[in-house]
Amino acid sequence: MIESKRIKTGVLGLDEILGGGFVPNTVNVILGSAGAGKTIFSIQYLLKGIDEGDKCIFVSFDMDEKDLIRTTRSLGWDEVENYIAENKLSVNKFFAENVSYVNNDLLNLLMSESNAKTRIVIDSFTPMISSLNFESRNDVNWFFNKLREIGTAVITIEEPLNGDLGAASVSLPLFLGDCAIHLKNIGYGEAFSRTLRVIKHRSSWHAEGVFPYRILDGIGIYVEGVDYLKGEKERIDVDEILEELGMKRRDVDSKLMERIERVAKSASRTARNAIIDLLTKPE
């Protein structure tokens, strides 16, 4: 179901996969190995926010304003320099050795820079939690709750080169985040070398499967293969289905009818078939 109040990601093709975008006041984890496009994703997210009048905050442990301007220029986003000057985008470099996830400086900064509509990026979160163990779950949860209060956050996580996703520094944010997206760079040549997959999206629909993406000069990450999702969309007229089946509303149990009305909202061919099954094949 596409809900109206979503946070547009700014990544072409991704909102369709997420059912409209991120859910407001959530922590969204972007997992990917070196060069997968995590930083580019983060910047696209913030640029979209600036377009929509949101306050945008970029926190990094390896990039300062100059580094960010250099990266964004190489993709054709020359406006970033002006956004920083106009205070629409605040860029904050922290030194990982001075910061822990419960660091007050970081939270104070985020709170003082925020307003009613704030987009936060922490790129990457890994240096802050690389030494964590599973007992730190409550601390990370506490920090994520603070981020949710302040705004809608995107945090990036480095995928270990050996592909081990079981380490606490990877699995804790994946467990505790509201949405997790995996950017994978397989590196087998052009066609299918980069793929995006939504691992989870709490309290929202999301498309299953992997989607190829490219990094394009001037655009950034561009997710392909989402057209079929639009093709899947179909308005569902429950009364019409009932008529086709020769049934009347009053013959259907009211609880079942409520369920059917909910399913109908997802407006897809699959949902239509499921409704027919619910009506014709009682459990």
Ligand X SMILES: Nc1ncnc2c1ncn2[C@@H]1O[C@H](COP(=O)(O)OP(=O)(O)OP(=O)(O)O)[C@@H](O)[C@H]1O
Tell whether residue 37 is a contact of ligand X (CB under 6 A). yes
Helix (H) or strand (E) holding 181: strand 179-185
Residue range at the interface with ligand X (CB under 6 A); choices 6-14, 29-37, 201-209, 274-282: 29-37
- Of the pair 25, 33, the CB lying nearest Mg ion is at 33
Backbone angles phi, psi at 269, to 5 degrees: -60, -40
Backbone angles phi, psi at 62, to 5 degrees: -130, -5
Residue range at the interface with ligand X (CB under 6 A); choices 33-41, 44-52, 91-99, 113-121: 33-41
Tell whether residue 39 is a contact of ligand X (CB under 6 A). yes
Angle at 52 between CA 41 and CA 202, to 5 degrees: 55
CB of 89 to Mg ion, least distance (A): 17
Q: Smallest Cα–Cα separation from 6: which of 18, 99, 17, 164? A: 18
Backbone angles phi, psi at 68, to 5 degrees: -65, -40
Contacts of ligand X in 70-129 (CB under 6 A): 74-75
The interface partner of residue 151, options being Mg ion, ligand X, none and the CB cut-off 5 to 8 Å by kind, is none
- Of the pair 30, 132, the CB lying nearest ligand X is at 30
The interface partner of residue 104, options being Mg ion, ligand X, none and the CB cut-off 5 to 8 Å by kind, is none
CB of 217 to ligand X, least distance (A): 4
Report how far residue 59's alpha carbon sits from residue 125's, in angstroms, rounded to the nearest whole number: 9
The interface partner of residue 215, options being Mg ion, ligand X, none and the CB cut-off 5 to 8 Å by kind, is ligand X
Site string for ligand X, 195-234 (x = CB under 6 A): --------------------x-x-----------------
Residue range at the interface with ligand X (CB under 6 A); choices 28-36, 136-144, 233-241, 246-254: 28-36
- At position 163, the amino acid (one-letter code) is G
- Of the pair 75, 107, the CB lying nearest ligand X is at 75
Q: Smallest Cα–Cα separation from 156: which of 17, 20, 62, 16? A: 62
Q: Within its chain, how far is the Cα of 124 from the centroid?
A: 15
Residue range at the interface with ligand X (CB under 6 A); choices 27-35, 139-147, 222-230, 252-260: 27-35
Q: Which residues bind Mg ion (CB under 5 A)?
A: 38-39
The token pair at 48 is 């979209």
- The answer to whether 206 touches 198, Cβ cutoff 8 Å, is yes
Backbone angles phi, psi at 17, to 5 degrees: -70, -30
Pairing of strands 210-216, 220-223: antiparallel
CB of 104 to Mg ion, least distance (A): 26
Site residues (vs ligand X, CB under 6 A): 32, 34-40, 74-75, 158, 215, 217
